[in-house]
């Protein structure tokens, strides 16, 4: 591609400069999904060769941005976070933009941490004098608050309720290797979470959940999606999602290389 200016790593992953580790990881998975072979999103605009190149760039971007030291160096060398005081105004504006971008980045029907940001009440100062019709503004602000009030805040989307703590089971959760789908199911049952609740929270179908929980690999979608499920699944159960997901992914790879 004849790119005079290439996309920077943040643009490649479609995130703001202030994105945290969780957003970086989610966006990385999404970016990979966007350009994989089965993706609906990319094939009609990019040919397979271009998609392959983009996937390489995504890996490169993630390798750097997921490592806070590498990320800091990258930011510095690309002038992405300037410490120069003459840029103060600029930075303030960027911060506002970044905030707005972060809010806008959270789509409505996705259950992720972004929801908290998206739904955080935004307060507006008094209307500026140039507004012509004050009654319209009152009406709209009323509309806005009524719209926001009509939707309950999601806050923490963990599904776990108080459950009887079984030390033996807790021990098992800490130490079992590898983590299989069947084992995940036993944790879910132990934590008294119904399949419907998981399906609703993760927005996955009954079939995928059943396949995941019975280790029926042939019915599971592409590995990147499974990873996403398992992260959300283990988070919803308030488990150590990084550890369990890593272990499950190893297990999956051994069964379905």
Taking the mean position of all CA atoms in its chain, how far away is CA 102? 12
User: Rounded to whole angstroms, how far apart are CA atoms 137 and 21?
Assistant: 38
Q: Alpha carbon of 52 to those of 12, 47, 48, 65, 73: distances in Å?
A: 14, 9, 6, 20, 27
DSSP three-state, residue 26: helix
Please identify, using beta-carbon distances, which residue of 179 and 204 lies nearer to other proteins. Answer: 204
Structure tokens at 110: 């996705």
**Min separation Cβ 162 and other proteins, Å:** 27
Question: What is the nearest approach in angstroms of other proteins to the Cβ of residue 255?
Answer: 21
**Shortest Cβ 128–other proteins spacing (Å):** 4
Question: What's the start-to-end Cα distance of the chain, in Å?
Answer: 33
**Min separation Cβ 106 and other proteins, Å:** 8
Tell me the closest approach of the beta carbon of residue 111 to other proteins, in angstroms: 10
Smaller CB separation from other proteins, 150 or 175: 150
Return the SS3 of 129. coil
Cβ closer to other proteins: 75 or 115? 115
- Interface positions with other proteins (CB under 8 A): 1-5, 7, 11-12, 14, 30-31, 33-35, 39-46, 50, 54, 93, 96, 100, 103-104, 107-110, 118, 122, 124-125, 128, 130-133, 136-137, 139-140, 142-144, 146-148, 150-151, 202-205, 208, 221, 225, 228-229
| CB 222, CB 211: distance < 8 Å | no
């Amino acid at each position: 591609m004849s790119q005079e200016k290439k996309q920077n790593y943040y643009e490649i992953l479609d995130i703001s400069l202030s994105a945290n580790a969780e957003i970086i990881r989610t966006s990385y998975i999404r970016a990979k999904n966007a350009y994989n072979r089965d993706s609906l999103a990319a094939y009609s605009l990019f040919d397979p060769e271009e998609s392959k190149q983009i996937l390489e760039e995504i890996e490169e971007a993630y390798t750097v941005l997921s490592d806070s030291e590498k990320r800091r160096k990258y930011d510095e060398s690309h002038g992405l976070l300037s410490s120069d005081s003459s840029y103060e105004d600029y930075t303030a504006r960027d911060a506002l933009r970044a905030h707005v971008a972060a809010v806008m980045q959270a789509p409505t029907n996705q259950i992720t941490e972004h929801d908290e940001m998206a739904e955080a009440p935004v307060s507006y100062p008094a209307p500026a004098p140039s507004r012509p019709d004050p009654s319209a503004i009152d009406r709209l602000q009323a509309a806005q608050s009524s719209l926001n009030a009509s939707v309950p805040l999601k806050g923490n989307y963990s599904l776990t309720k108080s459950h009887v703590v079984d030390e033996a089971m807790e021990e098992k959760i800490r130490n079992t290797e590898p983590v299989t789908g069947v084992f995940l199911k036993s944790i879910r049952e132990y934590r008294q979470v119904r399949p419907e609740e998981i399906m609703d929270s993760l927005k996955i179908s009954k079939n995928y959940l059943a396949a995941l929980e019975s280790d029926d690999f042939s019915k599971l979608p592409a590995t990147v999606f499974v990873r996403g499920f398992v992260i959300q699944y283990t988070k919803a159960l308030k488990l150590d999602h990084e550890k369990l997901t890593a272990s499950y992914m190893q297990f999956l790879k051994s069964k379905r290389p």
